[in-house]
Structure 1
Amino acid sequence: MMRVTIFAVACVVGLATGSPVLRKLESGPRFQYEKDATGQNHLVDTWVTLDNMAESARYTPELQNIYHLFTRENPTVSQPLLINNVATLQSSNYKSSRRTIVLLHGWRDSIVSDFNTVIVPSFLEAEDVNVLCVDWSAGAGSINYNTALANTLTSGVAVADFLNWLIGASGSVPVQFHIVGHGLGAHQAGIVGRNVRGDVAYITALDAALIGWINLNDRFQADDAMYTEAIHTNAGVNGYVSDYAQVDFYVNGGESMPGCNSHACDHARAIFYFAESITSGGFRGKLCVNYLAAMLESCNILPGRLNMGGLKSKVG
């Protein structure tokens, strides 16, 4: 599958406690700094310990994940949907004739985060869609980054199970679905896409997390949907550095966003750029030879141009 890289203008955790080490996520330093969704800096342990796995085992996404439905009929107050509860689905404003947007927040985030409060209104303004916000804060809220990372994997499978049920119960089809995730949620979006029975039309990864994912086979893959797109705004720090989708946009070289003075701000900018692209149609990007050229802002050789983000995928 062809991959395209595009440049677009526009607390202490897990310190050694004596718990047995099960595996090493990274080849670099064991302790690295990572920012959570609130912008707080945490020193995270990139080695997985027995304590991490024990904490992760207490998270049951099948029971603890909450699925909030927003539509133009209920744009500000959600309708919770429950797996295997057809009565709740039938009494909701969900319509199988609409496209369905699935939103997956990041580490230490929740249903009331900017990710949801900014993107939900943008989609509902631009199109009559079902917007399904997945609150997996029971898994993402752990201060232990490795625990949240492990929970990302199990939550992804649970969300896919929920969507498989929803598709069967409502008469929807996978090609009506667009999945969007930020940070850890971006990788989870890929996991969801590859576990849905059928081809999801479109997945957007917003500055997918870097730490712990380089050597992890479960990370976002280019073929997780019919069309996959990534927006990099903090590449190499909080965000994944290399290209991983069918089309990758490196805004402003993928780092140091206009108006930002912190990595946390850069990481969050992907949310706001994507939300604006939904209502504006996207920002124009230049075709690059590779991601290094995009990060160096040296993309003047190839003639290709493409809009970043937007409502619909760029295939089909």
Structure 2
Amino acid sequence: MARSQAIIVLTIAIGAVLAAPEPRYDPDRQNVYHLFTRQNPTVSQPLLMGSEGLLGLTNYNAARRTVVLLHGWMDSSTAPFNTVLVPAFLSGEDLNVIVVDWSTGAGSINYFTAVTNTLASGLSVARFINWLNTVTGAVPAMYHIVGHHLGGHQAGIVGRNVRGDVGYITALDPAYTAWPNNVNKFRATDGMYTEVIHTNVGVTGYIAPLGDVDFYPNGGSSMPGCNSQECDHSRSYFYFAESLTSGGFTGRRCGTYLSAMLGNCFLLGNLRMGGLVPKTGSSGIYHLVTNPTSPFSQG
């Protein structure tokens, strides 16, 4: 076969794959829940909605606070977002940490399909939490829901669909593309306290404020020590992980998000970014500067 003919055949084959309908995503059946605790910090225990027997075999403890982690597009339970945050959370506090693997929905090569699946998964995760609370007596105020990229918006969807008010929700560089006019995007009212950390605004990350409190480290783009958009995007969870174990990130209050992006922030009032404890009642937009390498905090 001539080279030109081979290229045509390959192009047609690729087009056929992209045009083929994807299998229907069923999050109630396909989402996987991995439990980590200080008793099993590196090997997860499975949780299954509707299976109290399986739950009773795990280290889950309703008396502890529960963290729920939601990865982003094309990621899974083994994504750096999870491998960085699980040990950081368990180092900071004795918690139940539930990693949600919704890779069947997030793994679509068609980004807009993954956006649609973000809503479906969020509703399913909320049903899982409602079931867990019903059978264990756990309360939403004891939850901290954390999401990255598409998972950032999904964290809000989960929060607003859990019965009762979730205590703490954090969106880490929530996705920008397809979300400005999306009615399902993250909202300040999704939990008792909502916080957003922006590190790649206008590219992979959302530009405008979304939470009770929005932090724009280094202006929200071009993170020190990074030379790629992917690095900027990931800095959101590296900064957050460090805040769980050592605190230290202090933001100065800004009048607008544009002033935060420019670093022209001179209003009275500082606030710590991230951390284990929700800063319920706080609000506003904040700017801070980080170091190029770990430890990232400048105090």
* Pair in the same fold by TM > 0.5: yes
| CA displacement at 1:262 relative to structure 2 | 0.8
CA RMSD of aligned residues (A): 1.5
- Letter of the 1:97 partner, please give it: A
Query: Which residue in the other structure is 2:286 paired with?
Result: none
- 1:305 counterpart = 2:270: yes
Q: Distance in 1 between matches of 2:262 and 2:110?
A: 34
Query: Which residue in the other structure is 1:10 paired with?
Result: none
Q: Distance in 1 between matches of 2:247 and 2:146?
A: 16
- Letter of the 1:155 partner, please give it: S
Query: Which residue in the other structure is 1:181 paired with?
Result: 147
Q: Distance in 2 between matches of 1:135 and 1:64?
A: 9
Query: Which residue in the other structure is 2:187 paired with?
Result: 221
| CA displacement at 1:282 relative to structure 2 | 4.1
- 1:170 counterpart = 2:136: yes
Q: Percent identity?
A: 62
Query: Which residue in the other structure is 1:140 paired with?
Result: 106
Whose helix fraction is larger, Structure 1's or Structure 2's? 2
Q: Judge conservation of contact 1:282–1:309 (CA < 8 Å) in 2.
A: no
| CA displacement at 1:191 relative to structure 2 | 0.2
Query: Which residue in the other structure is 2:67 paired with?
Result: 101
Mapping 1:248-267, distance limit 5 Å: 248-267=214-233
Q: Which has the higher contact order (CA 8 A, sep 6+)?
A: 1
- Letter of the 1:135 partner, please give it: D
Mapping 1:42-191, distance limit 5 Å: 55=22, 58-191=24-157
| CA displacement at 1:273 relative to structure 2 | 0.3
**1:158-181 superposed Cα distances (whole Å, 9 cap, x missing partner):** 000000000111110000000000
- Letter of the 1:169 partner, please give it: V
| CA displacement at 1:233 relative to structure 2 | 0.3
- Tell me the TM-score normalized by structure 2: 0.87
Q: Judge conservation of contact 1:109–1:137 (CA < 8 Å) in 2.
A: yes
For 2:94, what is the secondary structure of its paired residue?
coil
Q: Distance in 2 between matches of 1:176 and 1:281?
A: 20
- Letter of the 2:268 partner, please give it: P
Q: Distance in 2 between matches of 1:115 and 1:261?
A: 19
Return the match for 1:238 from 201, 204, 213: 204
- Letter of the 1:219 partner, please give it: K
Query: Which residue in the other structure is 2:163 paired with?
Result: 197
Count residues in correspondence: 266
Q: Distance in 1 between matches of 2:214 and 2:96?
A: 26
Return the match for 2:234 from 259, 265, 268: 268
Q: Distance in 1 between matches of 2:276 and 2:174?
A: 20
| CA displacement at 1:277 relative to structure 2 | 0.3
Structure 2 portions without partners, runs of 5+: 1-14, 282-299
CA, structure 1 residues 282+194, in 2 after alignment: closer, same or farther (shift >3 Å)? farther
Q: Distance in 1 between matches of 2:78 and 2:204?
A: 21
- Letter of the 1:146 partner, please give it: F
For 1:213, what is the secondary structure of its paired residue?
coil
| CA displacement at 1:90 relative to structure 2 | 1.0
Q: Judge conservation of contact 1:282–1:310 (CA < 8 Å) in 2.
A: no
- Letter of the 1:246 partner, please give it: D
| CA displacement at 1:251 relative to structure 2 | 0.5
Q: Distance in 1 between matches of 2:229 and 2:39?
A: 37
Q: Judge conservation of contact 1:201–1:313 (CA < 8 Å) in 2.
A: yes
**1:136-186 superposed Cα distances (whole Å, 9 cap, x missing partner):** 001001111011111101000000000000011111000000000000000
- Letter of the 2:121 partner, please give it: S
| CA displacement at 1:91 relative to structure 2 | 1.1
Q: Judge conservation of contact 1:67–1:133 (CA < 8 Å) in 2.
A: yes
- Tell me the TM-score normalized by structure 1: 0.82
Q: Distance in 2 between matches of 1:166 and 1:275?
A: 26
